[in-house]
Amino acid sequence: MAGDGSDQRALQYEQTLKYGRYSEDFGEYTKEEAARLRESGQRRSVSQTLKPLENNKGRCAKCRFCTVRCLKFLISRVGEDWIFLILLGLLMALVSWVMDFGINSCLHALMWIYNSLDSYVFLQYLAWVIYPVVLICFSAGFVQILAPPAAGSGIPEMKAILRGVVMKEYLSLKTFVAKIIGLTTALGSGMPLGKEGPFVHLGGLCAAVLMRFMSLFGEIYENESRYIEMLAAACAVGVGSCFAAPIGGVLFSIEITSQFFSVRTYWRGIFAATIGAFIFRVLAVWNTDAETITALLRTSFRLDFPFGLQELPAFGALGIACGFGGALFVYLNGVIVRFIKKQKANNGFLMKKHLLYPALVTLLISTLTFPPGFGQFMAGKLNMMETMEALLDNRTWAKHDIAEEFEHMGHSEAWIHPQVNVFVTLGLFTFMKFWMSALATTMPVPYGSFMPVFVIGAGFGRLVGEGMATWFPDGIPTNGTSYPIVPGGYAAVGAAALSGAVSHSVSTAVIVFEMTGQITHILPIILAVILANIVAQSLSPSLYDSLIKIKKLPFLPELGWGHHEKYDIHVEDMMEREVQYIALNCSYRDLHNVLLTGHHNTVALVESAESMILLGSIELAQLQELLSLQLDRPRRLENIRERAVQDKKRLSVVSNDSSENSSHQASQEVSFQISTEDSSLSPTCPVPQKPLKPALKRPSVVERPTSPHDHSGIAFKNLYGTIPDTETLEEPPPNLKSFFGDDVDVEDDMTIREITEWEEKQLDEQVNFNNCKIDPAPFQLVERTSLHKTHTIFSVLGLDHAYVTSIGRLVGVVSVKELHKAIEGSVKVEGAKARPALASFRDKGKSSSKNEATDVHKLRDRLKSMQLPREHTPSE
């Protein structure tokens, strides 16, 4: 039931241990290794208890030993989880704080250069433009060289990883370093990029690195489900320590990465995120950035009358508009990403030089934001945090039309232009930032799109708020008194709504509360976020899902709400009825055929083709190994030797029956070299075709000559990639010949035709599954399992496919692909089936129940034919 991921990982893990031992079969080897580990573990525990008694000499060594033991004891008692989560929170807070420090230094340096070149506009322009171009190019180049997976936000990949897909390179130390440095330089450039997406990824990276470190001196609890749970908690820590928003961070990371989650994970996330947020803010206090622990973007809206009831329609309209805006943003971003991808595939002009595209984009954006130029109309001087602070300002800008009054307004000054209205600057800002952000978040640097969208939303909200304040200069009267309208509140609502619409989450509302430190606008914010989500979710996928689709990562779409026709789809409507299976009594030729046509990575094992009773599933890799063992060269050589011995024997005694026995023994023996099944398929092609490879080199993917009837080239490559000891070395390398020992003294004098004949004969033999790892309970569904339940099971357990059985018999298979189709509506339920109330799979219609009855009948008949009937029933 576990994803194949765990196996791949386990294999990769063992692979690193395995090099240097070539004389043994892989399966045998792992078993021995496991036994050795077990034994050594027992021995170690024995020695641990004995050592303090026997070892009295080295006092210092004893002390150290005790310390290590105490530490281990502490970890095992207090709970590794707690310590891990505390360390994680601490580390992420440090990373976040150091990164903020770096980013602010970069931004301040730019402003310093800009301000010191006050009188030379052209030099100012050059500095304003070249500085970010250099930083972005450094970021892109650095990431490209050190760890390409660090580019982008990383949320789509984390989503896939939490679904059970194994993407090792996305969780490596290299990526961690590349992401931190790349992100700092990219954000230091002042482009409209955020740090929240990468922080989800960084959280995961940090957890993965930390877990590897912890496993050094704790016991190894690299349990798969714990790993995933910890990664999920780590994502929450990332967001939490980035915005100092523990609760919002946890909820946001849950919403964007999971479809199901456990309360346990939620608690873990809250705990670690609180520590992260706490340390992050404490560092700010110690650095005297802040006086005490307060919110990142503290606002001071009225507490007694935050908003009037009459303003709610305006908030609602703002939410709906943000919903459309969010969908548009996702669409725009998708179009650009697809265009870039196409260019890359066609090796177009832009992609010839890797750094050209980001440089051009940066040039364009920084030119447009140049403060003395166009930037004066869109507050180009301010960086992202300053912009947010200004937009959440408590005062009403539209009322103070004269610029003089704005002298004490800090960042808000930037929005007041002597010539143009504040509406024009806000409108221009929103419009320009919109496409700039959509463009900037396609560069090959680490970036987040949450913060830019957040700022755009705030700008749009402020625009609406200022409009309302102009429309009702004295506020809307309620019960006689009237309170003026607070445009800052609209900015908060707009920010939450637009970021919610883009990410398809409602917890952006909580992030806004935690970032601003005020919860007064709770109802308008939630209302707007919900409306924005309704609009955006019905128009487009979320930004992350859109990227997942473009990157073709495996994912399971969510079930929409309200589409009640989905409740009528059942497994039988969507399952693939052509299941690949092998029977217990199949021949190696069947195995071979299955390997050629297999498109899942496991194949069903049934009792027999007649009964179709599902016994388990076998990985294709295992089958490949079985087949290889059957057809490998040592076995053939032995066969020759046996024949030679027999030939000798026949002279004295006429006996001829040891060959079959040897074939059974062979599978227990050494197996190093495998002749591919190609040789059996295309007997005309000469066997020793490729140059010899050094055996101790890490085996790479083997390029097989593609024969015309080979439909599964990719599948094979995967197999070879993951199971290195099935590598096709046509000849034993010279330095390994000695491994075969002295008994391989016969010459391989068989001709190619003889080999082919021998292999054909071998293929007709019945498969011996004795040494084959069988997954004894692959996940099973029934025909009447509903789409909802199937979706739940697939998303909770991270399944790739599940077999459909009916009274033990295999009748179909459902994979993520089929589920995909069903959810996206290409599966039609024939007619309007009026199901009885609370229909479950047990309430079958007439037809299916009849089928079942027949099936049971058939089974029993088979059984009867097999056994002696208990009582003879005379049939008329």
For the segment 739-798, give every residue that binds a copy of itself (CB under 8 A): 764-766, 769-777, 780-783, 785-786, 788-789, 792-793, 795-797
For a copy of itself, how many residues bind (rule: CB under 8 A)? 171
Min dist. Cβ of residue 159 to a copy of itself (A): 12
530 binds a copy of itself (CB under 8 A): yes
- For a copy of itself, the binding residues in 647-676 under the rule CB under 8 A are 657-658, 660-661
CA 607 from centroid of its chain's CA atoms: 36
Q: Alpha-carbon distance 388 to 382, whole Å?
A: 9
Considering beta carbons, is residue 67 or 766 the nearer one to a copy of itself? 766
Place of tokens 């005694």: 653
Cβ at position 660, least distance to a copy of itself in Å: 5
Q: How deeply is 872 buried, as exposed, middle or buried, from its count of CB atoms within 10 A (0-12, 13-18, 19+)? A: exposed
Instruction: Give 310's contacts (C-beta < 8 A, 6+ positions apart).
Output: 476, 478
Which is nearer to a copy of itself, 215 or 706 (by Cβ)? 215
Q: Which is nearer to a copy of itself, 419 or 873 (CB)?
A: 873
* Closest approach of a copy of itself to the CB of residue 267, in Å: 6
The β-bridge relationship of strands 809-815 and 602-606 is unpaired
Binding mask 262-301 for a copy of itself (x = CB under 8 A): xxx-xxx-xx--x--xx--xx--x--x--xxxxx--x-x-
Concatenate the DSSP letters of all residues of 336-386 into one string: HHHHHHHHHHTT-HHHHSTTHHHHHHHHHHHHHT-TTTGGGGTTTTS-HHH
Which SS3 state, helix, strand or coil, does residue 205 take? helix
Cα–Cα distance measured from residue 669 to residue 659, given in angstroms and rounded to the nearest whole number = 15
Site for a copy of itself in 563-582 (CB under 8 A): 563-564, 567
Q: Which is nearer to a copy of itself, 402 or 832 (CB)?
A: 832
Question: 822 to 851, contacts with a copy of itself by CB under 8 A?
Answer: 831-834, 836-846, 849
Task: Between 514 and 677, name the residue whose CB sits nearer to a copy of itself.
Answer: 514
Q: Would you give the binding string for a copy of itself spanning residues 205-234, x where CB under 8 A is met?
A: ----------x---xxxxxxxxx-------
Per CB under 8 A, does 691 bind a copy of itself? no
CA distance 551 to 344: 13
Vertex 105, ends 99 and 111: CA angle to 5°? 140
Q: From CA 269, how far away is CA 253, in angstroms rounded? A: 9
Contact call for residue 9 and a copy of itself (CB under 8 A)? yes
Whichever of 191 and 586 has its CB closer to a copy of itself, that residue is 586
- Which CB, 265 or 441, lies closer to a copy of itself? 265
Nearest to 171 by CA among 158, 187, 182: 158
Q: Binding to a copy of itself (CB under 8 A): which residues in 460-489? A: 478-479, 481
Q: Which of positions 236-265 make contact with a copy of itself (CB under 8 A)?
A: 246-247, 254-255, 258-264
CA distance 496 to 504: 11
Q: How far is the first Cα of the chain from the last one, in angstroms, to the nearest whole number? A: 49
- Smallest gap from Cβ 701 to a copy of itself, in A, equals 23
Name which of 138 and 227 has its Cβ closer to a copy of itself: 227
Tokens 């004995």 sit at which residue?
A: 50
Q: From 172-180, 369-377, 415-423, 606-614, give the range in contact with a copy of itself by CB under 8 A.
A: 606-614
The interface with a copy of itself within residues 32-91 (CB under 8 A) comprises: 33-35, 37-38, 40-42, 45, 76, 78-82
Query: 373 or 557: whose CB is closer to a copy of itself?
Result: 557
User: Residues of 660-687 as b/e, b for ≥16 C-beta within 10 angstroms?
Assistant: eeebeebbeebbbbbbbbbbbbeeeeeb
Contact (CB, 8 A) for 252 and 239: yes
- Report the residue number, 633 or 635, with the smaller CB distance to a copy of itself: 635
How far is the C-alpha of 27 from the C-alpha of 618, rounded, in Å? 14
Q: Of 132-140, 358-366, 514-522, 539-547, which segment contacts a copy of itself by CB under 8 A?
A: 514-522
